[in-house]
Amino acid sequence: MAKSPEVKLAVFGRAGVGKSALVVRFLTRRFIWEYDPTLESTYRHQANIDDEVVTMEILDTAGQEDIQQKEGHMRWGDGFILVYDITDRGSFEEVGPIRTLLEEVKKPKNVPLVLVANKSDLDHIRQVSTEEGERLASEMACAFYECSACADVGGAVAEAFHELCREVRRRKAVQGKARRRSSTTHVKQAINKMLTKISS
Ligand SMILES: Nc1nc2c(ncn2[C@@H]2O[C@H](COP(=O)(O)OP(=O)(O)OP(=O)(O)O)[C@@H](O)[C@H]2O)c(=O)[nH]1
């Protein structure tokens, strides 16, 4: 039986934006108020996405990790969820630098990512508008989800994880095709060289 594809996803964002809450909501469909704020955790999860069983490894990073830890986690991941909290403008402003570091660590560019604006249930103390989130996502050329780990009404949390898996799978397929095309080109060039030598 063919092995199900594996996708490594890492969740980044300032401390307190709700990374753990989002991961736990995705995995258990529940909301738990408090987690150990300093620990990073990895989870394995299987899901059926577009009629394909995909195994995800999900890394919930700690908001206060240092740059070396961040870079290590960026090298590890295939795709990234960048989270900010709509009630914390500073967390929104930290998304850009995280993305810049990602592009530095993961050459070539166009790293698979999604942008998640969490805590939409706290609209009354909102500091970042939906339009600002949409604009940032369009600058980063990625999907955007505004959601609440605490009151996930429309299933936006799962949709964000699933869309990121799709994006990773799409990029891998394109890279695989490009690799196959380039090795075919190499074989053709080698044959042409041989034929040229024989005929001369
Ligand atoms: N109202 C509301 N509170 C939330 C939501 N998501 C998380 N929280 C709360 O925000 C706080 C921080 O949540 P965490 O999930 O621990 O945040 P984190 O990003 O993992 O934090 P670090 O582990 O320190 O990086 C907790 O008190 C959560 O209960 C949400 O959607 N709505």
The reply to whether 114 falls in a domain is yes
Percent of residues, the chain, with pLDDT higher than 70:
88
Mean pLDDT of the chain: 89
Report the pLDDT value the prediction gives residue 36, as an integer from 0 to 100: 65
Residue nearest to atom 12 of ligand 1 (CA): 16
Rg (CA), the chain: 20
Distance from residue 104's CA to the centre of ligand 1 (Å): 28
Q: Residue 95 contacts by C-beta under 8 Å, 6 or more apart in sequence?
A: 13, 82, 84, 115, 136
The reply to whether 185 falls in a domain is yes
The reply to whether 58 falls in a domain is yes
The reply to whether 158 falls in a domain is yes
Provide ipTM, 2 decimals. 0.98
Q: pLDDT tens digits for 17-61?
A: 999 999 999 998 887 766 666 677 899 999 999 989 999 999 999
Q: Residue 44's beta-bridge partner residues?
A: 57
The reply to whether 133 falls in a domain is yes
Distance from residue 20's CA to the centre of ligand 1 (Å): 7
Report the pLDDT value the prediction gives residue 77, as an integer from 0 to 100: 96
Percent of residues, the chain, with pLDDT higher than 90:
67
Contact 11, 40 (CB under 8 A): no
Average pLDDT of 151-157? Answer: 89
Report the pLDDT value the prediction gives residue 82, as an integer from 0 to 100: 98
SS (H, E, C) 174-189: HHHHHHHHHHHHHHHH
The reply to whether 103 falls in a domain is yes
Q: Check which CATH number belongs to the domain holding 194 and give it.
A: 3.40.50.300
Long-range contact set of residues 166-174: C-beta below 8 Å, sequence gap at least 24: 166/49, 166/50, 167/79, 167/112, 167/113, 167/114, 167/142, 167/143, 168/7, 168/9, 168/78, 168/79, 168/112, 169/5, 169/7, 169/52, 169/54, 171/110, 171/112, 172/78
Atom of ligand 1 nearest to the CA of 119: 31
Among 11, 12, 14, 19, say which to mutate for ligand 1: greatest number of ligand atoms within 8 Å of CB. 19
Q: pLDDT tens digits for 118-133?
A: 999 999 999 999 999 9
Q: Of 103-112, 117-126, 133-142, 179-188, give the lowest mean pLDDT range.
A: 179-188
Distance from residue 37's CA to the centre of ligand 1 (Å): 9
Distance from residue 118's CA to the centre of ligand 1 (Å): 9
Domain that holds residue 194: 6-199
The reply to whether 1 falls in a domain is no
Residue nearest to atom 13 of ligand 1 (CA): 18
Based on the structure, what is the number of domains in the chain? 1
